Amino acid sequence: MLSQQHIDTVKATIPLLASAGPAITEHFYQRMFAHNPELKHVFNMTHQRTGGQPAALFNAIAAYATHIDNLEVLTGAVMRIAHKHTSFNIQPDQYDIVGHHLIETLRELAPDAFTQDVEEAWVAAYGQLADIFIKVEGDLYAERAAQQGGWKDFRRFRVASKTPESDLVTSFVFEPVDGGAVIGYQPGQYLGVKLHPKGNEFDEIRQYSLSTTPNGKHYRISVKREGAGDIKGVMSNYLHDHLNVGDEIEAMPPAGDFVFKDKQTPVVLISGGVGLTPMQAILDTLAKQQYSHPVSYLHACAHQGQHSFKEHVNSLKGQLNLSVHTWYEQADNEEEGVLNGMMQLEAIKDSLPLTDGEFYLCGPVGFMMFVKQQLLTLGVEADRIHYELFGPHQEV
């Protein structure tokens, strides 16, 4: 039971956490993987090598310590993390392992400051946090399993089709091996996909946005090939080079809290690069519903060869009140409707619903920060700007 004394003690350790920084979580992961290497089958080791996951965990721990006496502030973050955890099939017993190594990390890095009172407070604080996640994630698992086409744990799927969409992006359609129905999803959500690439020591689990409207029969994801030899491209290159029609993967039910919210207002979909994948699901869903409000589709990519779904998006103009704006960093020639360089909203501001539209962003972090600042400058309220980040979460 978390007492007021525990809360006061945890908050008093915030300066200690701040002074140590991400070194705490780097040490934690090194320790945990040394003692429990089986968790390398679960955690994305690419994010460990790039430093993204340790930084994200440190920020989460610091936020929890700061708001431990007002956890409602963290509701959104808890739901975002819980959705991600369910795509990895995280189970309650794994929280015990994480908790043990977190406490031992604090003890090893700050032996003088980590008194018995501090340890007792952090054990209680972590126990409260673990209970919150176990409850939220348990509810998500149960809810999905109870729905038509739902399931628990990983389920086997077969590749039904493999379709190149551009120079770098390929779509994969997965149908269940058992021949049953599949659970629906909200446009914007992702699919947790597990594979064991040949030559890899551990399983790889990644989350890929579902790139079309749900149909109850199969799922489609669209994957960008990362640079050959790039540590971030282990899974994407395997999918592009080795996963073919008839091959099998495992998947968890769709998850994610970046979803289209139908407020019956104008909608603006803004994407950079492969960030257009969740936008396809939103756009297809709006077309299926014959959405009556204006829809703006803004996309930026390197050049024409990397422009995925171009023809498909244009084909929806007959079903929606749809305007399309495109930016190429490297324009090969003069093309109608294509702007050169970075996405500059000033050029099209008069066509955007700045006062009442809902704006959805997805793409590289730098791109989203760049676009969000433009939207704020143009007068769009922050609560009307929604975004999805591929990888460990951070603020945009």
Q: Could you tell me if 147 and 140 are in contact, meaning their C-beta atoms sit under 8 angstroms apart?
A: no
pLDDT tens per residue, range 158-181? 999 999 999 999 999 999 999 999
Dihedral of CA 281/282/284/289: which sign? positive
Band (pLDDT 50/70/90 cuts) for residue 111 is confident
Confidence check: pLDDT of 340 > 60: yes
Q: What is the pLDDT of residue 391?
A: 53
Is residue 23 a contact partner of residue 146, using CB atoms and an 8 Å limit? no
The pLDDT of residue 187 is 97
pLDDT in tens, 55-85: 778 888 889 999 999 999 999 989 999 999 9
CB-based contacts of 346-352 (< 8 A; 24+ apart in sequence): 346/374, 346/378, 348/298, 349/378, 351/296, 351/323, 351/325, 352/268, 352/296, 352/378
Q: What is the identity of the amino acid at 165? A: E
Backbone angles phi and psi of 290, in degrees to 5:
55, 55
Retrieve residue 228's tokens. Answer: 């050959």
Assign 231 a pLDDT band (cuts: 50, 70, 90): low
Model pLDDT, residue 84 = 94
**Of the listed 29, 64, 126, 137, which one is catalytic?**
137
- Which is catalytic among the residues 29, 95, 297, 328? 95
> CATH says 4-146 is which class?
mainly alpha
Give yes or no: 328 in active site.
Answer: no
- With H, G, I as helix, E, B as strand and everything else as coil, classify residue 150: coil
User: Domain locations in the chain?
Assistant: 4-146, 155-255, 267-389
Q: Is the pLDDT of residue 395 over 60?
A: no
Mean pLDDT along residues 109-120: 90
Q: How far apart are CA 39 and CA 284, in angstroms?
A: 37
Instruction: Tell me what pLDDT residue 47 has.
Output: 61
Q: Which residues are annotated as a binding site for FAD?
A: 190, 206-209, 389-392
**Encoded amino acid at 242, one letter:** H
Which residue ranges make up the annotated binding site? 85, 190, 206-209, 273-278, 389-392
Q: What is the mean pLDDT of the chain?
A: 92
- Contact partners, residue 187, CB within 8 Å, separation at least 6: 210, 213, 259, 260, 278, 281, 282, 284, 285
Does residue 205 have a pLDDT over 90?
Answer: yes
Which numeric CATH code is attached to 267-389?
A: 3.40.50.80
pTM of the predicted model as reported, rounded to 2 decimal places: 0.92
pLDDT at res. 52: 66
CA distance 8 to 6: 5
- 117 pLDDT exceeds 60? yes
Higher pLDDT, 15 or 231: 15
Other C-beta atoms closer than 10 Å to the C-beta of 278 total: 28
State the DSSP H helix or E strand holding residue 53, giving kind and residue range, or none if neither: helix 52-66
Helix, strand, or coil here: 325?
Answer: strand
pLDDT of res. 182? 98
- Name the token pair of 84: 């991600």
User: How far apart are the C-alpha atoms of 331 and 309, rounded to whole Å?
Assistant: 17
Give me the sheet containing 267-272, strands edge to edge: 338-340, 322-328, 295-301, 267-272, 358-362, 385-388
Which residue type sits at 62? A
Mean pLDDT for 199-222 is 94
pLDDT (tens digit per residue) in 42-57: 887 666 666 567 777 8
Taken in order 64, 67, 70, 74, the sign of the CA dihedral is: negative
According to the model, what pLDDT value does residue 330 have? 83
**Binding-site positions for heme b:** 85
User: CATH assignment of 155-255?
Assistant: 2.40.30.10
Active site residue 95: yes
